[in-house]
A and B are shown apart, each in its own frame.
Chain A
Amino acid sequence: EVQLVESGGGLVQPGGSLRLSCAVSGFSVSANYMSWVRQAPGKGLEWVSVIYTGGTTFYADSVKGRFTISRDNSKNTVFLQMDSLRVADTAVYYCVRERTVRGDIRFDPWGQGTLVTVSS
């Protein structure tokens, strides 16, 4: 069964750090593009970051220089290290597989999400 389980969310003060984890079962993270997508309370979906099979990473401009995506192939887990957190980073963070099929990028499947709240 394919499953993505995020953890690591919580309450943090502005300027602080958090590390999110996404434990994957049912497929290999090293053989797939893995992304993080976030959703601020009551708002829409915003793509955050991706790590490609070869290790190349990309970030949304809103998090570039503050967030770092990585993976541990032996644990089949993807991480999102979030530093210098801002109130605007408050959101549910979803781990999701990114598939590119004949040029079309699709996000499937998704984890259940983990809530990050940045507040003083």
Chain B
Amino acid sequence: DIQMTQSPSSLSASVGDRVTITCQASQDISNFLNWYQQKPGKAPKLLIYDASHLETGVPSRFSGSGSGTDFSFSISSLQPEDIATYYCQQDTTFGGGTKVEIK
């Protein structure tokens, strides 16, 4: 089974900061990597598919990149409504999640 290692597990940043999360696969997964946002008490929501494609309606401050084994997810300018836990996912495996908080 492919393992997905996500880091950091949590981060605290100021409004307006750029935030970056990484996800590493244990073997080459091409660009088959998706990112989800889960706000407190809510279900996850698909934000980015195929490593870098934004779902319809997702603000452009969110972005993703990478291929092979190394991927990243960024928020260019952190907003208060972005407080959530973010997960990467490949096939039926999810990363451990990154909790994003406001400093």
Contacts and interface: CB of A to CB of B under 8 A. Distances in A.
Contact of A104 (B32, B55, B94, B95): B32
A67 interface: no
B92 to A, nearest CB: 4
B32 A112 contact: no
Interface in B60-103: 87, 89-97
A44 B36 CA distance: 12
Interface residues on B, range: 20 to 34
A54 B50 CA distance: 26
A44 B89 contact: no
A47 interface: yes
Interface in A100-119: 101, 103-113
B34 interface: yes
A110 B97 contact: no
A44 to B, nearest CB: 5
B97 to A, nearest CB: 5
Contacts of A35: 92
Interface of B: 30-32, 34, 36, 42-46, 49-50, 55, 87, 89-97
Interface of A: 35, 44-47, 50, 60, 94, 101, 103-113
